[in-house]
Structure 1
């Protein structure tokens, strides 16, 4: 009997020690992408330039993400993601350690996910994947100046985000980003969107608004993180992709409205000539894209974007047009390593704004062209881990 009691006591002790670890299972994953290549631009202000550059088809990054099982289909989750330049080793995203993403939250299988921190807006989460640049092509295929943030030029700090579970192919979500200022609405942002996916069909839409993006260093979109600096930014759009066999085709429309814009961090030059007041800058982007997989290891993709610009200043209202064409070929040497070639052509036509915006500018090139057209070509190697 004594031996039996001892055995039972030992068994109970083992169960009590094992139960907490079985209940609170956790996982931590280290991951990353290295995207490095050589670019040629036919006209970057002072002439043609060859340069080594990092993070175009995908931003070079490393990150840590993890989850702890809290039981009942609930998990505590986190993600920390750093963006960096392979060429120099320096940080991207305003020299932040975890500039791409930094958040923690709770995931529930039935009710969705709630996270807090530095995160993507709903345009990036839902709409961007219907564009070439937000899906398979990356940086150089962005709409002019990434005016609609479909290439995630900025993130939202101080943000609370909700994402629904998958409801028969439908998902939706939203994010609110605090200004962290005594003036509650100064440099705050909010966004929402959704998507429906079923049998090769993807339909998505999103909305984003920010007050005073680029103002200060503590708000939703800070001065060293903004694309456009303005009194107000408002973006909305929708897109559709359809995959059939080895082919995928897509169309997207985005509308961007900037009130009292003063600058753009990609060029660091005022958006109006000296003495001219720019009151409104609007963009409408119409994109058609397609991709064909010749084999599981090799695809070719193409994109055309027609952009209508509305430039309202103290000199009047003008409406230039911007044509952008992109081509890409990608070949996988292995499951985690590929080589790709990209080429983009941009042409600015129609009315003159009498500003730097009359000059073509492909994102990723060193500087705007000295003329109304520009060509950029890239050859690169990419590795993920």
Structure 2
């Protein structure tokens, strides 16, 4: 074993010597930065099917993570860069996002004249999630733009290629293509989706943004398919069209947006699994489309304090009802690296809707065990037609 290690090290050293001795090879200056965020909080949630809940959680405001990023100046305005980022749970110490560098693992080139290209695991920078962050008055906190669409705006993707254009007259274009790594065009084998049941197939998207003075506008379209290349679940594998904008008025930033989701291949089996037939409210069937609209504002009271507010409304077709979410949040900076946060939310459901304040992982579409003890399973969602209230608070430290 020791001999094998010695031979490997010797070979690597010889390769480095040969590379540095080649004519015309020069080493540019580079830098590597270690960074991270630690976030812990406490939540009170009422309106569950079996009462209320008080629990601790990691990453309410900003997901706990650590990572490394580096950049090398190649000359002529071109730079090479990389980023490796791992999620973690502050409460359990477990790795988040499914794998060690599940949040982000990319390498690429950038140039002020022609833009940026990168490839790898985009993870939390999948196009829909990236676009939603700037369009959301609650910064994608747990009660925010993803709540009424059951986590669809927290989509992730790997095996990807991405190009971002330079900003020209305020316009920036971004295109993302995530290969399924399969011999079939639309199919994929990139692992289970957020429910842990079906593999994700090919995904792709395009975003056009405009920023000029106090105004910011964006339009983003993305597709996420299941492992068989189908749009089979409106809250998981679907088409998404989002249009949103913000406008800065002094210390206040205003928000408005619209999102349409479409999954024409949805069936009971694709949503709930084969052999599972939960009891839905009268007149309701598996949705194939959903829409969401929102309004909100952020007020920077002073350098240390800010307040946020947002109202979100969504409805799904086939009698699946509608829901409205009301939110109010606040942050207080203790220093440049540490701040406190809190948010309160209330969601109101129609009689055929049971959307909760969960993240889409703990309250996916469908009944909970109270509505349907036989096949509803456990869920933090309320009963059909009932509302849910929640409040959380925590602390963030950046390094």
Rounded Cα–Cα distance in structure 2 between residues aligned with 1:148 and 1:177: 19
Q: In the alignment, is the contact (CA less than 8 A) between 1:148 and 1:255 conserved in 2?
A: no
Corresponding residue of 1:122: 127
Rounded Cα–Cα distance in structure 1 between residues aligned with 2:230 and 2:89: 24
SS of structure 2 residue aligned to 1:138: coil
Corresponding residue of 1:9: none
Corresponding residue of 2:43: 39
Scaled by the length of structure 1, the TM-score of the pair is 0.80
- CA distances 1:269-292 after superposition (whole Å, capped 9, x unpaired): 979538x99554321111001011
SS of structure 1 residue aligned to 2:134: helix
- CA distances 1:262-316 after superposition (whole Å, capped 9, x unpaired): 5679xxx979538x99554321111001011110110111000011211xxxxxx
Pair 1:113 & 2:116 matched = yes
1:77 to 81, 97, 101: 81
1:100 to 95, 99, 103: 103
Q: In the alignment, is the contact (CA less than 8 A) between 1:191 and 1:208 conserved in 2?
A: yes
Q: In the alignment, is the contact (CA less than 8 A) between 2:46 and 2:52 conserved in 1?
A: yes
Q: Please show how residues 129-168 of structure 1 align to structure 2 within 5 Å.
A: 129-133=134-138, 135=139, 138-144=141-147, 146-147=149-150, 149-150=152-153, 153-168=154-169
1:237 to 238, 242, 260: 242
Rounded Cα–Cα distance in structure 1 between residues aligned with 2:170 and 2:132: 15
Corresponding residue of 1:89: 93
SS of structure 2 residue aligned to 1:283: strand
Corresponding residue of 1:334: 335
1:29 to 33, 38, 41: 33
Corresponding residue of 1:324: 325
SS of structure 2 residue aligned to 1:383: strand
Distance change (3 Å), C-alpha of 1:278 and 1:227 = closer
Distance change (3 Å), C-alpha of 1:49 and 1:277 = closer
SS of structure 1 residue aligned to 2:133: helix
RMSD between aligned residues: 3.1
Pair 1:369 & 2:382 matched = yes
Scaled by the length of structure 2, the TM-score of the pair is 0.77
Rounded Cα–Cα distance in structure 2 between residues aligned with 1:278 and 1:74: 53
Aligned length: 339
Rounded Cα–Cα distance in structure 1 between residues aligned with 2:276 and 2:235: 11
SS of structure 1 residue aligned to 2:328: strand
Distance change (3 Å), C-alpha of 1:264 and 1:113 = farther
Rounded Cα–Cα distance in structure 2 between residues aligned with 1:32 and 1:146: 29
Rounded Cα–Cα distance in structure 2 between residues aligned with 1:263 and 1:50: 33
Structure 2 residues without counterparts, runs of 5 or longer = 1-20, 188-200, 363-378
Q: Deviation of residue 39 (structure 1)?
A: 0.3
Q: In the alignment, is the contact (CA less than 8 A) between 2:151 and 2:235 conserved in 1?
A: no
Q: In the alignment, is the contact (CA less than 8 A) between 2:152 and 2:235 conserved in 1?
A: no
Rounded Cα–Cα distance in structure 1 between residues aligned with 2:263 and 2:147: 14
Distance change (3 Å), C-alpha of 1:280 and 1:320 = closer
Rounded Cα–Cα distance in structure 2 between residues aligned with 1:384 and 1:238: 31
Pair 1:206 & 2:220 matched = yes
Rounded Cα–Cα distance in structure 2 between residues aligned with 1:58 and 1:328: 14
SS of structure 1 residue aligned to 2:159: strand
